[in-house]
């Protein structure tokens, strides 16, 4: 699948999430379910699709180092700048955050833009891996990111509406921030299209570290504050969906 189609699909999913926020009121439980489902797909792809592919090329310490840098980058951004994903930190966006939006807007936009750029690079890396190894990982990465984009756009849109933005302006902001996914895909395509399989695997492992951070952060952020069964059940459904897909479309070498 052309990388521009994948990136465009992810971008459209995020904007669609923002549109849902503009048109339909969503309860926190519904948002938690969507967040956990998306987190499960990210975890499933990282653990069951990316890791086996990377171990075909990387040594265990190279893989762990690349995963650790991906996890660490998102952890530092979330600690030092702002929560890197509004969906994964939905419980933090309470009324106080909405009232303080003018103070936190720049930091939030920067953090989320970095997150979306990494999503785009992950799409490009999956596409490059597909070209090199003729596997199905390209599809898995694209699917997981697209599923995650829906609650991401929904959460961002809900935050902006709660902060007093009109629906039209909210959609423009969501589209502007999420457009960095397209930027990341373009950058990834330019950088990764001519590199060796080793560096493609490093990029994939780095992206997998970010996926693990998002999935763990999303579940831990909700499971101790809301319905544990709903969160864990939706997370398991996301992981299971990737498992079923891998049975239907196994990785090929």
- pLDDT value at position 236? 94
What ranges do the domains of the chain cover? 3-248
- pLDDT value at position 101? 67
More confident position, 6 or 97: 6
Residue pair 135/129 in contact by the 8 Å Cβ criterion: yes
Q: DSSP code of 227?
A: -
Q: DSSP code of 59?
A: -
- pLDDT value at position 231? 85
More confident position, 147 or 250: 147
pLDDT at 135 over 60: yes
- pLDDT value at position 87? 67
Smallest CA-to-CA distance from 218 within 188, 189, 245, 239 is with 239
- pLDDT value at position 147? 93
Question: pLDDT by residue (tens digit) across 8-57?
Answer: 999 999 999 989 888 875 667 777 888 889 999 999 999 999 999 899 89
Residue where the block lists tokens 């303080």: 100
- pLDDT value at position 118? 94
- pLDDT value at position 217? 85
Question: pLDDT by residue (tens digit) across 91-132?
Answer: 555 555 556 666 677 787 888 999 999 999 999 998 887 665
- pLDDT value at position 171? 93
| Sign of the dihedral through C-alpha 229, 36, 21, 225 | positive
More confident position, 4 or 172: 172
Smallest CA-to-CA distance from 15 within 206, 164, 217, 172 is with 172
Min mean pLDDT across 27-36, 97-106, 154-163, 197-206 is at 97-106
- pLDDT value at position 34? 85
Q: What is the mean pLDDT of residues 190-201?
A: 88
Kindly report the CA angle at 152 between 40 and 107, in degrees rounded to 5? 120
Kindly report the CA angle at 177 between 171 and 178, in degrees rounded to 5? 85
SS3 186: helix
Please count the other Cβ atoms lying within 10 Å of the Cβ belonging to residue 248: 8
Distance CA 53, CA 161 (A): 41
pLDDT at 64 over 90: yes
- pLDDT value at position 1? 55
State what percent of residues in the chain have pLDDT above 90.
49
pTM to 2 decimals? 0.89
pLDDT at 59 over 90: yes
| Sign of the dihedral through C-alpha 45, 142, 39, 197 | positive
12 φ, ψ (degrees, to nearest 5) = -65, -40
Distance CA 20, CA 26 (A): 9
Q: What mean pLDDT is reported for the chain?
A: 85
Split at pLDDT 50, 70, 90, the class of 158 is confident
Distance CA 224, CA 205 (A): 29
Tokens, residue 186: 């373009």
Sequence-ordered list of residues with C-beta below 8 angstroms from that of 171, at least 6 positions apart, any chain: 15, 18, 19, 22, 157
């Amino acid at each position: 699948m052309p990388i521009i189609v994948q990136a465009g699909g992810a971008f459209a999913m995020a904007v669609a999430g923002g549109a849902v926020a503009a048109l339909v009121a969503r309860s926190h439980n519904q948002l938690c379910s969507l967040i956990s489902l998306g987190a499960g797909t990210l975890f499933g792809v990282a653990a069951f699709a990316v890791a086996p592919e990377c171990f075909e090329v990387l040594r265990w310490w190279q893989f762990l180092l690349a995963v650790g840098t991906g996890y660490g980058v998102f952890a530092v951004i979330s600690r030092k700048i702002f929560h890197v994903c509004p969906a994964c930190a939905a419980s933090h966006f309470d009324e106080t955050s909405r009232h303080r939006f003018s103070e936190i807007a720049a930091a939030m936009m920067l953090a989320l833009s970095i997150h979306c750029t990494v999503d785009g690079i992950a799409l490009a890396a999956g596409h490059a891996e597909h070209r090199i190894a003729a596997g199905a990982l390209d599809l898995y990465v694209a699917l997981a990111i697209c599923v995650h984009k829906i609650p991401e756009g929904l959460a961002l849109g809900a935050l902006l509406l709660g902060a007093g933005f009109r629906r039209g302006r909210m959609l423009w902001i969501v589209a502007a921030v999420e457009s960095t996914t397209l930027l990341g895909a373009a950058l990834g395509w330019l950088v990764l299209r001519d590199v060796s399989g080793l560096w493609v695997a490093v990029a994939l492992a780095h992206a997998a570290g970010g996926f693990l951070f998002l999935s763990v952060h999303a579940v831990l952020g909700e499971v101790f504050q809301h319905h544990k069964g709903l969160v864990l059940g939706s997370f398991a459904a996301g992981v299971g969906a990737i498992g079923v897909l891998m049975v239907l479309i196994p990785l090929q070498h």
